Amino acid sequence: MSQVAVPGGITLEYETFGDPADPAVLLIAGFGAQLISWDTGFCEGLARRGLLVIRFDNRDTGLSTKLEEHQLDLGELIGAASSGDLETVRRLAPYRLADLADDAAGLASVLGHDRVHVVGASMGGMVAQLVAIRHPEQVATLTSMMSSTGSPDVGQSTPEAFAALMKPASPDRDTYIADTVASSRVWSSRRYFDEPVVAALAAASYDRGLCPGGTVRQLAALLATGSLEEDLAELDVPTLVIHGTDDTLITPSGGQRTAEVIPDAELVIVTDMGHDRPGPLWPVLWDAIAANIARAR
């Protein structure tokens, strides 16, 4: 793994898989997730399809820049959002998802990639959409996975999933791992849920370094961004939307709306997939992403 500075004073931790001469795929992680949320085996499978895979820590996660000078109160943020006080939400948020998109585009540029295939999951799906909106000249294809448009009308979490997402992270390692397993069970694939795999990722994430304050700042960025639908309707890029039938964290209507709004987008609904990427379904995801990339070639 390596670090690189991108415009805006942010340093990003990243790792690559594959031949640098191959077309580049930029994987954008979701809310509070580190680059290791893109499993090494998943990345290696994409690389075997003739792609250079880049995974990285968004700002405020993992080993990338933390904006700890901006401390937010989660209760105040949720209260403002729940009451529809968007002005307060935007005042509290030190940045927007657009800034994460600019970070991602900046990383691609600094690494020497003028055109990249952008793949984002969950919140990272909206960040990927914003990369395509804000930097269309850099985006060869777009894949939005288990994500939504930012519209409050679609993709809303079930009450159980939202409660699990909002539970504060424990500072104790064993409790953090146990809580992560319990939360993941709420929104993950029911058929393929693998507790040892989930626990191992939680342990690795804890050991790399958690940033609870950064998670709150990312939530503020998400809440302050709002709907992207007007801009998505103007996109002109081969687009794939992937969503699982079991997803309770961002329910399938979020993916369905995304595909409806983006011109000529292809929608792939994956049976038995939740808000995760279980190993048995990797071939389905690899094939879908590779087919979308082939549309650009």
Mean pLDDT along residues 22-46 = 97
- What is residue 99's predicted lDDT score, i.e. its pLDDT? 98
* CB-CB contact of 157 with 251 (8 Å): yes
pLDDT digit string, tens, across residues 230-268 = 999 999 999 999 999 999 999 999 999 999 999 999 999
Domain boundaries, position 187: 2-296
How many domains does the chain fold into? 1
Question: What's the pLDDT tens digit per position in 81-133?
Answer: 888 888 999 999 999 999 999 999 999 999 999 999 999 999 999 999 999 99
Length of the chain in terms of residues written:
297
Strands 2-6 and 10-17: antiparallel
Q: What is the mean pLDDT of the chain?
A: 96
* pTM of the entire predicted model: 0.96
**Among 6, 186, 167, 202, residue whose Cα is nearest residue 102:** 6
CATH of the domain at 288: 3.40.50.1820
CA nearest neighbour of 62 among 198, 204, 275, 271: 204
For the cut 80, the answer to whether the pLDDT of residue 297 exceeds it is no
Residue-wise burial string across 253-267, b where 16 or more C-beta atoms lie within 10 A, e elsewhere:
bbbbbbbbbbeebbb
pLDDT of residue 191: 96
- pLDDT score for 168: 87
Write down the pLDDT at residue 74: 84
